[in-house]
Amino acid sequence: MDKHKTTRDMKRRLFLLACGLFCMVFTMAQPRPNEVQPMEQREQSDACINYVESRQRSNGVQPMEQREQSDACINYVESRQRSNGIQPMEQREQSDACINYVESRQRSNGIQPMEQREQSDACINYVESRQRSNGIQPLLKTHIETGDVEGILEGTDLAVYKAIPYAAPPVGDLRWKAPQPAKPWTGVLKAEDVAKWPPQPEKSYVKYDMMSEDCLYLSVVTPAKSVDEALPVMVFIHGGGFQTEHYGGDLWQSLARKGVVAVSIEYRAGSLGFLAHGDLAKESPEGHSGNYGILDQIFALQWIQRNIKNFGGDPSKVTIFGESAGAMSCHVLCASPLAKGLFRACISQSGAFISPMSAINQAQAQMIGLMFMSELNKKSIKEMRQMDAKELTGNGVNFHGCTPIVDGYVIPEPIYNLYEKGEYNDVPVLIMHNSDEGAVDYDSVSTEEYNRQFSMFPGEWADSLKAYYPGTTDEERLYSMRDFIRDISFGWSAYKWATMQKKTGKSPVYSAYLAQKSERTVYAKGNRRGAAHADDMLYLKGAFDEEPGKYPQEKKVSDLMQQYWVNFAKTGGNPNGEGLPSWSVFEEGKATVMQFNNGASLIEVPNKERIMLIDRFMKYIINLQSSN
């Protein structure tokens, strides 16, 4: 038998025993709230192992060479540390004290393990004090108003809390009521998995068993290493036509890595989020019904004000941002007095709620609710509360009220009117829409479809619209219809929000236009000429980071957008920063709209002539409404 090999094996076993005794010392410590969490990723523990081994080799001590042995030790140490809230040695200057002690004992005692508790305790106390003062890892465990919560480590720099309840489950008697506080829990809530989707129609990627009416959760992604960092906070509101989708589509790690706390919130959708009915109004202390999804968003923002400090965020530095219906929600929050003071800036991506054709009032919404109850063959709200959520939101359900309601409470008046009078939450805004928004709606347009779409407008307006959006060929009809959808649904509302706030507000307004063409898209159809609806999500979440060589221009735009967005959040309203093309505050008639296309450059309002035609038509509608 090889004498040297036997000696090495004995040294390894004794060193593993030393590790085990070291673990026993850690278990004696009491949990320490808000401390930094242990190494959970193998690439992190490897660095520590390698350093220990190099120190041991340099001092004549045989290191652990079998990774399966060291893994067992490290995993045991980490599991015991996690259960007791104590941190591992990660930084060299902190681990030197313990390593030196181990080595001195080993040299003098032939790899004699640490047996003197008083000596190892002193070492542990030193490490812990250094770790507390330096904050090695992000906050993987913290305390909020309802109890302790623990996230997971992503990479080496982010703590991710995937599902934290911010309100009580809106089930039973709480269905169609304003959100209520979440109940406290005992022990530690493990926020390791995203919550289920809110009830909605089934799709290929979401089935009914993935849904739950218990859906009022939010995620938090933080790079903070202590609760005192006071980082800016970005709160995302997802789209889906106020009927579909999920907060877990992206948790915005890409933005968090640039120095913000990223939050994504869920809210009730479909009939569960927006059903209005006279009997529900009677139940409400404020005398309104509907808008439960918007009340959820406001409740989540209030929760953030009370709790985000415990994740290293600053409640006075909240920026809301959203896409599609999420962007419309952001606009509603900018207009609602109930959201006053809950955020300091807003970013809208492909959505606003200013069109006179999109707003319905409380009476109209309650009429839709009565019709819905009749279609379901129910006679009371009590009966409807006993129905399965699938029967109220699933495939084939015919509810036409999936929209915010001008109820005199959440939305006091039509938002167009509020902006005319300057009665809104005047915060800095960044408003963007995309160049090929309509590419998600049409793959081809027949002559009959083209004529049918424009026949819905009064005669003179139909003729004018056809002149600006011609349809003499198949290709012309396709592109004209896509452009019309872009301009009337997104371009005009973005333009109107910007110009009206410039006129009646004091906060800065920034305007943007995403025109980058790419092979990649979220769900648009073929023959695209630019960025389709929802494609902005690809750029903001860094979807091109893995293949920069294949998508060099997309990667460039993605980097620019992310940095502008984060700068806007960090400063409370200014996207500019070192190394970025200068972005001017919006001013009509000047090149102040930032176009993202193979980089970033300023242009005037895109598609201006068509936007002005639609603006004249919207004023015509407003005049009709005011005369009735």
Question: Where in the sequence numbering do the catalytic residues fall?
Answer: 324, 437
Report the C-alpha gap between 299 and 464 in whole angstroms.
45
Spatial separation of the C-alpha atoms in residues 134 and 44, rounded to whole Å = 17
What's the one-letter identity of residue 82?
Answer: R
Q: Which residues of 27-52 are buried (b: 16+ CB within 10 A; e: fewer)?
A: eebeeeeebbbbbbeeebbeebbebb
Q: What percentage of the chain's residues is helix, strand, coil (to nearest 5)?
A: 45, 15, 40
Q: Look at residue 162 and give its three-state secondary structure.
A: strand
Residue pointed to by tokens 């220990």: 52
Sequence-ordered list of residues with C-beta below 8 angstroms from that of 35, at least 6 positions apart, any chain: 85, 86, 87, 128, 131, 132, 141
Distance of CA 581 to the CA centre of its chain: 26
Q: Are 481 and 450 in contact (CB under 8 A)?
A: yes
Backbone angles phi, psi at 510, to 5 degrees: -120, 140
Q: Residues 6 or more apart from 246 whose CB is under 8 A from it?
A: 194, 197, 198, 206, 238, 240, 266
At position 204, the amino acid (one-letter code) is S
Residue 305 CA to residue 361 CA, distance in Å, equals: 30
Spatial separation of the C-alpha atoms in residues 330 and 508, rounded to whole Å = 16
